[in-house]
Amino acid sequence: MKLLYQTHSPFARKALVFAHETGISDQLTVEHHETSPTNANAEVFAENPLGKVPVLLRPGRSALFDSDVICAFFDTLHDGRPLIPTDPEERWAALRLQALAQEMAQAGIAVRWESTRRPEQLRYPQLQEGYELKLKESYRWLERENLSESDLNIGHIALATTLDWLEFRDLPLFRDSPGLTRWFDEFRQRQSMQLTPLSGETHD
């Protein structure tokens, strides 16, 4: 299988970290692709009409796209404990955490558009502040959660890769949240995170 990837995408990295955690990373060939809304990548568009990574190419089968879908597929390829829990309440908690992490990453991307990527005369400071508030309130909510009390699941992977990306991009930080900081600093030592470092700049 081939994973169309981007070394500075929190979404692509989530899928690759998931593959490492489930022990199937050796089944993947990882291929870096630069994409952005203003820099169309024809190879990616050929497999995903949204033109975004990650995309998973499967020999003889249709391509899968969106990190949530790819991770769900990966969870069917191993014999270990599912990282998308089967117990109903554990499942909803994990999927809720994943959804929060995904939206935090989207908020961070929006902050970058309004602070660095959009031409200065077109930026909307109030919109930037609105997205920054989403991040800060998410940190407050996460600080109240007992993340370390749950077995590793898809939500933890999504959150860790999002937090690492937010720090990588110097976006509103979570370091004022001591519990969240401790959890993240411990999680980032996992081999799956160490083997998939973020790098590179967005090319618009």
Per-residue pLDDT of the chain (204 residues; tens, 9 = 90+): 999 999 999 999 999 999 999 999 999 999 999 999 998 999 999 999 999 999 999 999 999 999 999 999 999 999 999 999 999 999 999 999 999 999 999 999 999 999 999 999 999 999 999 999 999 999 999 999 989 878 999 999 999 999 999 999 999 889 999 999 999 999 999 999 999 999 999 888
Kindly report the CATH number assigned to the domain that includes residue 30.
3.40.30.10
pLDDT value at residue 203: 86
Structural domain including 49 reads 2-74
Cβ atoms of residues 132 and 111 within 8 Å: yes
How many domains, the chain? Answer: 2
Look up the pTM and report it: 0.97
Cβ atoms of residues 22 and 153 within 8 Å: no
For residue 118, the number of C-alpha atoms closer than 13 Å in the C-beta half-sphere is 15
Q: Which two tokens stand for residue 166?
A: 């937010």
Kindly report the CATH number assigned to the domain that includes residue 112.
1.20.1050.10
Q: Point out the domain boundary residue: 26, 42, 74.
A: 74
Residue 11's contacts (CB-CB under 8 Å, 6 or more residues apart) are 52, 53, 54, 66, 67, 102, 105
